[in-house]
Amino acid sequence: MRQSQQFEREGTRGYAHLVELHVPVARVWHALIDPRLMRIWPNQGEWAKVEDLGPATQPRDLSFPIDMYRDHCGGLTFGGDGKLYYVASRWRDAKYNPTPESRKQNEGVVWRLDPETLKREEVARLEHPTGMAHYVSRGAVDHNGDLFFGHVGNHPSGIFKVSMPADRKRKNAHLPIRMWG
């Protein structure tokens, strides 16, 4: 299976961000433009089994349009602890996310999702010294189990490193290798 297999669901185009082939049943983890986190089993039945895991970003008024640059989720990757990590944008909103003016208007939040229980927890907030950190396009794990997230929107684009605590690391955690592109 190709890692960026395009598909359509209810008229919304999306791209599969992470293909997990090292488990007994192949699964695809995906985040859409809404964006919603989805788990897809491509080999179950004539049509793939799709499980909607709910919104990936903060609550918002869906009757009011918002640009995809602000409302974004990406960088899905599995850590050495077997949990799914991804970055979802969060922005200041008077009703759904009132944050102090001392914080940036848009934030990139690293989430950890347990694939068995679907429990989600915030583990880090990405910080850029002069620009935004909320639009992450790719995620990866290095051979020591630390996370890396590639971001765009700042010039130049760059990479955030998230050092993992010892209990979440595993040597050679990067296998199978997460492809960038």
- What pLDDT score was predicted for residue 1? 33
- Please report the pLDDT score of residue 100 as a whole number: 87
Q: What is the pLDDT of residues 34-93, one digit of tens each?
A: 688 888 888 888 888 888 888 899 888 877 778 778 888 999 998 889 899 999 999 888
Q: Predicted confidence band at 33 (pLDDT cuts at 50, 70, 90)?
A: low
Strands (DSSP E) found in the chain: 6-9, 12-20, 27-31, 36-41, 49-55, 73-78, 84-91, 106-113, 120-126, 136-141, 147-151, 158-162
- How do residues 21-30 score in pLDDT, each as one tens digit? 555 555 666 5
Q: Which of residues 21 and 153 earns the better pLDDT score?
A: 153
Q: Give tens-digit pLDDT for 119-151.
A: 999 999 998 888 888 889 889 888 888 999 998
Confidence of residue 101 (pLDDT cuts 50, 70, 90): confident
Where are the chain's structural domains?
A: 6-168
Residue 3 has pLDDT above 70, yes or no: no
Q: Which residues contact 176 (CB under 8 A, 6 or more apart)?
A: 21, 22
Q: Would you say residue 11 has pLDDT above 50?
A: no
Single-letter amino acid, residue 44: Q
